[in-house]
Amino acid sequence: MPSLRFALAQFDFPVGAVAANAAKVGDLLAQARDGGAALVAFPELTLSGYPPEDLLLRPSFLAACQCELNALAGGTNGVAALVGHPHSEGEVYNAASLLRGGTIELTTHKQALPNYGVFDDKRYFRPGHDSAVATIDGVRVGMLICEDIWQPEPAAKAAAAGAELIVVINASPWDDAKQSSRENVLTARALETGCAIAYVNLIGGQDEVVYDGGSLLVNADGSIAARAPNFVDAMLWAEFDSETRTLRAENWPTAADACTEATLYAALVRGIRDYIEKNGFPGVLLGLSGGIDSALTLALAVDALGAERVTAVMMPTRYTSQLSLDGARAQAERLGVDYHIINIEPMVDAFLGALTPAFAGKAPDTTEENLQSRTRGVTLMALSNKHGRLLLATGNKSEMAVGYATLYGDMCGAYAPLKDVYKTVVYRLSRWRNEYAARIGEPEAIPSAVIDRPPSAELRDNQTDQDSLPPYDELDAILARFIEGEQSQAEIASQGFHADTVRRVVRLVLLNEFKRRQSAPGPRVTTRAFGRERRYPITSGWK
């Protein structure tokens, strides 16, 4: 019985970099040919990058993708390639072409167009209707695109056309529940069709989404033959045995640590690195307060970019504790970043002095607290402008959800690494990062004193977050049920939460949509991220 040696190209193909993406495909084609592969499969929309969004409305962009595809076809003597690209023939399709023998042998179109979560395929593409099957080295290979494998019909069509192996090219964004759901779907399709499945996925950060790779080999009996590590660029070699319909991985890389925290941390690091590098910024800066959110953000930034590309700024006032000053300095020195202390007390006093006549007869309130935060925002933006380093916002998802953040203050920034990370998860990640440091013989990345202290914005004397919010364990449990779970207030209260607390938290979430609309983008890592995924109206009478 025939066997097929093939490769899966788990790499990053940035949006809009059509010529560079084509050049990378050409290099990997040569590598696959030299390695004896009969076929190499690339991710969904390899040439355009995913998601290209309204670039797909530009005829010149579509023409450039087609031009590069035609050129690549000429280099396929000795190896076949399955390449994702947009295909325009009056209508625009999300397509994959089999390049072989110097020509475009066939082009197939994505049949199932997702229009949920972060996906918007129906805005741009028309659906295909058929599943392509080709014979490669005597093996009947079906070819599907991403969402096609999540529905039974496209795989069933491929099997009916004689496919023994189905190769699926994907641009599937990562979230904290994605890997298990992928494996469940692929197992179901294999069992339904009797076909083995090779699943190759895109890798890299693109604005608010992060692609993890995590490519998979699934035998015809539904068993997982191999898992590629998340967030590792790699050429993955495999062998398919037609008689047993089984797959064998050849020297695939393995993850050093595959726990939940390690994978999430890697997602955030990849999101930061790709956002900064793909947009051409020389580095980043952030306000380092001595609190856990900015401490974790600093550690992530250093791991993503290197200490030499990171600036941290402490901006104390009379309310800043010695613990905060000591913790910020200790971390900045330990990680080796460029560190500055700028006392903003005189600036705040100047603002208050200028505003005193207009504030006459008004008692102090959160206005004065927010003024401190906004003074920090002005200071950081000035440094960003002067030095060309991108400002990172350090707020977390719990704060974004309930509006515990100051517009034009601590919400200032062009990228927010923790925007989709709940506060309780911030603590878990911080502890994991220190445990990892201990395992590799390095000092703590985040001072323990910063992790162990009660969280505080330090905008007034003896302030803690819990003066204004429920304890974070309780708050995050309610938020996850309301946001990710879409549960009603009654459903949440029935699970042991006080009805008044639930009502208050839900009210804060609904009231603060206007703030979230003005927040920086950040990497999506949960199943229901604010921004392009969870889109509620700002103005709404529904409570």
φ, ψ (nearest 5 deg) of residue 126: -100, 150
293 marked as binding residue: yes
Tell me 87's DSSP state.
E
pLDDT at 280: 96
178 marked as binding residue: yes
In the block, residue with structure tokens 């991220």: 529
pLDDT at 463: 67
370 marked as binding residue: yes
Q: Which H/E stretch holds residue 131?
A: none
Q: From CA 180, how far away is CA 3, in angstroms rounded?
A: 29
DSSP string, 448-509: HHHHHSPP---SSTT--GGGTS--HHHHHHHHHHHHTS---HHHHHTTT--HHHHHHHHHHH
| Residue 211 near residue 183, CB atoms below 8 Å | no
Please report which confidence band the pLDDT of residue 301 belongs to, taking 50, 70 and 90 as the band edges: very high
The percentage of residues in the chain with a pLDDT greater than 90, rounded to a whole number, is 92
Q: Which H/E stretch holds residue 297?
A: helix 292-305
pLDDT tens, position by position, 314-356: 999 999 999 999 999 999 999 999 999 999 999 999 999 999 9
Please report which confidence band the pLDDT of residue 458 belongs to, taking 50, 70 and 90 as the band edges: low
pLDDT at 256: 82
Torsion of CA 443, 446, 447, 452, to 10 degrees: -130
116 marked as binding residue: yes
- The HSE-up count of residue 539 (CA atoms within 13 Å, CB side) is 0
pLDDT tens, position by position, 110-138: 999 999 888 999 999 999 999 999 999 99
pLDDT tens, position by position, 12-69: 999 999 999 999 999 999 999 999 999 999 999 999 999 999 999 999 999 999 999 9
290 marked as binding residue: yes
Residue 459 reports pLDDT greater than 90: no
289 marked as binding residue: yes
Q: Sheet harboring 234-241: ordered strands across?
A: 103-109, 91-100, 80-89, 39-41, 3-10, 234-241, 246-250
Most confident of 211-215, 452-456, 458-462: 211-215
pTM of the model: 0.95
- Provide the pairing of β-strand 39-41 with 80-89: parallel
199 marked as binding residue: no
Buried b (16+ CB within 10 A) or exposed e, 497-536: beeeebeebbebbeebbebbeebbbbbbbbbbbbbbbbee
Work out whether the CA dihedral 25, 27, 30, 32 comes out positive or negative.
negative
φ, ψ (nearest 5 deg) of residue 56: -70, -10
Region 395-408: mean pLDDT is 95
Residue 2 reports pLDDT greater than 90: no
419 marked as binding residue: no
Region 296-316: mean pLDDT is 98
User: Which candidate, 424, 153, 469, 443, places its Cα nearest to that of 292?
Assistant: 424
pLDDT at 532: 86
Q: From CA 289, how far away is CA 291, in angstroms rounded?
A: 5
Torsion of CA 156, 157, 162, 165, to 10 degrees: -60
pLDDT at 541: 87
| Residue 32 near residue 7, CB atoms below 8 Å | yes
Taking all residues of the chain, what is their mean pLDDT, rounded to a whole number?
95
pLDDT at 210: 97
pLDDT tens, position by position, 201-213: 999 999 999 999 9
224 marked as binding residue: no
Higher pLDDT, 346 or 467: 346
pLDDT tens, position by position, 419-448: 999 999 999 999 999 999 999 999 999 999
53-60 long-range contacts (CB < 8 A, ≥24 apart) are 53/15, 53/120, 53/124, 55/15, 55/16, 56/86, 56/92, 56/124, 56/125, 57/124, 59/88
Q: From CA 2, how far away is CA 38, in angstroms rounded?
A: 12
Query: Could you tell me the two tokens for 26?
Result: 């050409």
Region 71-94: mean pLDDT is 95
Tell me 230's DSSP state.
B
How many helices (H) and strands (E) in the chain? Answer: 17, 19
Catalytic site positions: 44, 110, 146
394 marked as binding residue: yes
In the block, residue with structure tokens 């209508």: 91
Region 282-306: mean pLDDT is 97
The percentage of residues in the chain with a pLDDT greater than 70, rounded to a whole number, is 98
397 marked as binding residue: no
543 marked as binding residue: no
Residue 140 reports pLDDT greater than 90: yes
pLDDT at 347: 97
131 marked as binding residue: no
In the block, residue with structure tokens 């949920």: 116
